Structure 1
Amino acid sequence: MPHIIYYAATSLDGRLAGPGDALAFLEALADPESYGDDAFEPFFDTVDAIVMGAKTFAVLQAAILADEADGWPYGDRRTIVMTRKDRIAPMAGAEVEAFAGTPRELAEALDAAGSGRVWLAGGGRLAGAFFDDDLVDEIVLTLVPTILGEGPALAEGSGIPLRDFGLKGATQGANSVALRYVRLR
């Protein structure tokens, strides 16, 4: 099975976005590239594929179409959108495909395709399903110094089983911290 890393930024109260899926809270990060080896680009260089939920993809797509983002940020990296639909809207410059199966089926398909490291990019419901199936090997969280009060949670689901993760590193940024946890099996 591939090594699946849930890499996300979250508010101090565990929110991936604010009301209406607003990502403006990320602007509270001072110098987000100050995390040394734990910064995004070095992490991104290690992953073979990206997995995200349909809602996360829609939020990203809307930001790109509204010119809030500078086009597809992940280059030609294989991106799988987990959805109940047969197809998803194409995105210029993106290598994006739809997958309608379970997280376990996707992990098996990625394994068969030779993917070694996979970035689970969210959202919270999808992460909850991956946690439920015990497929998350690592969690890397950047804590953004703000409280949102509402919005999508880091992981959502009913009855997500307890999983044991060990802290393997903490890197302090200018005004935040990136925490790295590894699944203890």
Structure 2
Amino acid sequence: MTRFLFDTATSLDGFIADEANSLGWLFAVPHGTTPDDELLPSGHRVMVEGSTTYEWLLAESDLLAHPEKWHEFYGDRPVFVFTSRDLPVPEGADVRFVGGPVADALPVIRAAADGGDVWVVGGGDLAGQFLDAGALDRIAISIAPVALGAGAPLFPRRIESDRLTLIEAKAVGQFARVIFDVQRADAPE
């Protein structure tokens, strides 16, 4: 059964990117460029991200000029990018652009996952849209020893404690790793 996982790193003060939408702060943390395997999801067949995350990754690693790097990050997995714009695609990359509400894209994403997991890479608002659509099953957060003061929030939604069940909390290198299962919201009567 396909599960949707939001797995990301955040600063101590709850930001997943700085004010310039950069993740450079994360890579400055010891082992930030080569994270421990425990800090990355496994078993996912599909990745989903927003256009800001996608464009930052393209620029940061110069993926259009060096498309061979794409496979280092994504492998052969399909990557769905939520956007309303036409964006470039690295040669040989399986990038699928989708627009509109997350709920409308769920059938095609589930079909691509073929029973495997879907990693919602980012951003936080996109993960919130998966939550709003009733399709977010797990939230895994790697908290870095950095405070940014401002930036893109981890999860710009209110989620009450009755919706989250703590599965695991542990130290992994310089990161605090916490994992929550997400309970479905009660259907309106």
Scaled by the length of structure 2, the TM-score of the pair is 0.82
Question: Helix, strand or coil: the match of 1:29?
Answer: coil
Question: Helix, strand or coil: the match of 1:170?
Answer: strand
Residue of structure 1 in register with 2:62 after alignment: 65
Question: Helix, strand or coil: the match of 2:140?
Answer: strand
Question: What does 1:25-104 align with in structure 2 at a 5 Å threshold?
Answer: 25-31=25-31, 35=36, 38-40=38-40, 43-44=41-42, 46-65=43-62, 71-72=69-70, 73-85=73-85, 87-104=86-103
- Aligned partners of 2:77, 2:122: CA distance in 1, in Å? 16
Deviations 1:135-183 (A, max 9, x none): 11001110001100111111236xx564611110123122221111111
- Aligned partners of 2:174, 2:28: CA distance in 1, in Å? 9
Q: Structure 2: 5+ residue runs without aligned partners?
A: 185-189
- Aligned partners of 2:46, 2:35: CA distance in 1, in Å? 25
The answer (yes or no) to whether the contact 2:10–2:143 under 8 Å persists in 1 is yes
- Aligned partners of 1:161, 1:16: CA distance in 2, in Å? 18
Residue of structure 1 in register with 2:169 after alignment: 170
Q: Rate the CA distance shift 1:75–1:112 in 2: closer, same or farther, 3 A.
A: closer
Question: Helix, strand or coil: the match of 2:25?
Answer: helix
Q: Structure 1: 5+ residue runs without aligned partners?
A: none
Q: Rate the CA distance shift 1:115–1:61 in 2: closer, same or farther, 3 A.
A: farther
Residue of structure 1 in register with 2:24 after alignment: 24
Residue range with higher mean Cα deviation, 47-56 or 108-117: 108-117
The answer (yes or no) to whether the contact 2:39–2:172 under 8 Å persists in 1 is no
Q: Rate the CA distance shift 1:26–1:97 in 2: closer, same or farther, 3 A.
A: same
The answer (yes or no) to whether the contact 2:139–2:181 under 8 Å persists in 1 is yes
1:28 offset after TM fit, Å? 4.4
Q: Rate the CA distance shift 1:115–1:105 in 2: closer, same or farther, 3 A.
A: farther
Residue of structure 2 in register with 1:124 after alignment: 124
Deviations 1:19-46 (A, max 9, x none): 211212113433356756x232xx23x0
Deviations 1:27-66 (A, max 9, x none): 3433356756x232xx23x001000011110111111228
The answer (yes or no) to whether the contact 1:35–1:171 under 8 Å persists in 2 is no
Percent of residue pairs identical: 28
How many correspondences in the alignment? 177
Question: Helix, strand or coil: the match of 1:178?
Answer: strand
- Aligned partners of 2:150, 2:51: CA distance in 1, in Å? 20
- Aligned partners of 1:71, 1:129: CA distance in 2, in Å? 29
The answer (yes or no) to whether the contact 2:21–2:52 under 8 Å persists in 1 is no
1:116 offset after TM fit, Å? 2.6
1:6 has 2:3 as partner = no
The answer (yes or no) to whether the contact 1:2–1:110 under 8 Å persists in 2 is no
Residue of structure 1 in register with 2:187 after alignment: none
1:110 offset after TM fit, Å? 2.2
Residue of structure 2 in register with 1:146 after alignment: 146
